[in-house]
Amino acid sequence: MFYGVDLARDKFKAACVTPDGAGIEMISCSLTPGSLEAFKKRLTGDDYMVVEATTNAFWFVNQIKDLVKECFVVDPFKFSIISNSNKKTDRIDAVKLAKKLKYYIMFDRSKDEFPTVFVPAREVQEIRSLFTTHETLKKEKNITKNRIRSLLTQNGYFGLQKKNLSYAKTRTEIINLDLNAGVRVQFEVLFDLLMHQEAGIETIKTEILQKGTIFKKEVEVLTSIRGISPFIALAIMADVVDVRRFQNAKHFCSYLRATPRIEASGSSTRIGHINKHSRHLSMTLLVECINHFRDSSPRIEEFYTRKSKGKNKGKVRVAVIRKMLVIIYNMLSDNELYHYRDIQNHERKLKEYDKVIKKVA
């Protein structure tokens, strides 16, 4: 049987297509334990299943994958029969998924026609989830800091940089300013919120470093690049998981959102924006270490200077990050340290990482 599953938050609709195409059976099921167990009992080791990528798709696959022969997750942005459809219902999408799965298995295993999403191991899924929460807390922390600075400006206090704002360093100083009762209450609430956000960020970061021991060898390789900490190295590995699944450095960079879209027709070629339907965590964090990477080698600095001529800073940053990712791809593929590594700096980072792991353990 070939199952196409249109997954919602608390339920799903599945279309079941037989190999001979005799008919289509529609199944509606909730994700409550009893209903899901009843659906699982009908599955066999000869069945195939495809699920459209959603927030809970990986969780669903974890429940199903050991009960069927193969289970796939497809990218809805790249899956043309869904993304280009003028009429979309749960039933129509499920039927289209099932029919496409049948064709893919029986006739043509083309990745272009069946763009699957890589499903990492549960340990990696957990690390990715922790990074998502970490980035969410960072955004909320910046919102809180911006509000504190706004209140200071409204009350005639200037000059405090956002990067210098923290619960430990500036709370007492600001609370003791000559402020009216309403503003003082706002500062007290905002600083309490900032305290919890800062503590939450550190807790999540420590948990990521601890869970990341599954990538210990890769962390040792990546931290040999100046500017890449164990935390950033783990972000890269949470996205990549295994460098061997990429055909070449170009596919590696594209997956990490560092390659622009190219449209060519005849003699004209148009270079567009970067592909936004891909992993973005590594790109976000690598922006923070561009200057360290430039300082690591005269050749990298020369590359940056050359690319800076006549281009805006955003495109230059992407070009430098792409250069860094090509180097990272080759380092991981060959299990080699960075050619221009600072030995003392590298050893210091590894010692600090070991301390965090041992402290938590």
Which range (56-60, 123-127, 313-317) has the least confidence? 313-317
Q: Higher confidence at residue 153 or residue 67? A: 67
Percent of the chain with pLDDT over 90: 40
How is the beta sheet containing 2-7 ordered, strand by strand?
24-30, 11-17, 2-7, 48-52, 70-74
Q: In the prediction, which pLDDT does 263 show?
A: 46
Q: Which has more confidence, 33 or 274?
A: 33
Whole-angstrom distance, CA of residue 191 vs CA of residue 78: 44
pLDDT tens for 299-322 read 888 888 888 887 778 888 888 889
Distance of CA 1 to the CA centre of its chain: 33
- Helix boundaries (H) for 107-180: 122-154, 167-175
The pairing of strands 24-30 and 48-52 is unpaired
Q: How far apart are CA 60 and CA 311, in angstroms?
A: 45
2-106: which CATH number, 3.20.20.80, 3.40.640.10, 3.30.420.40, 3.90.1150.10? 3.30.420.40
Domain coordinates in residue numbering, the chain: 2-106, 123-213, 214-360
Q: Could you report the per-residue pLDDT of 170-201, keeping only the tens digit for each?
A: 777 777 777 788 888 898 899 899 999 999 99
Based on its alpha-carbon atoms, the radius of gyration of the chain, rounded to whole angstroms, reads: 25
Name which of 327, 330, 323 is nearest 244 in CA terms: 330
pLDDT higher at 42 or 261: 42
Beta bridge partners of 268: 265
pLDDT of residue 269: 41
| Residue-level pLDDT at 84 | 53
The one-letter code for the residue type at 102 is K
Q: How many residues does the chain have?
A: 361
The two three-digit tokens of residue 191, written as one number: 């600083």
Chain segment 207-231, per-residue pLDDT in tens: 999 999 999 999 999 999 999 999 9
Q: Which residue stretches of the chain are H helix? A: 33-40, 57-64, 80-83, 90-106, 122-154, 167-175, 181-211, 216-222, 230-240, 249-255, 281-286, 290-295, 298-308, 313-334, 343-360
Q: What is the pLDDT of residues 69-101, one digit of tens each?
A: 999 998 877 766 555 555 678 888 888 888 888
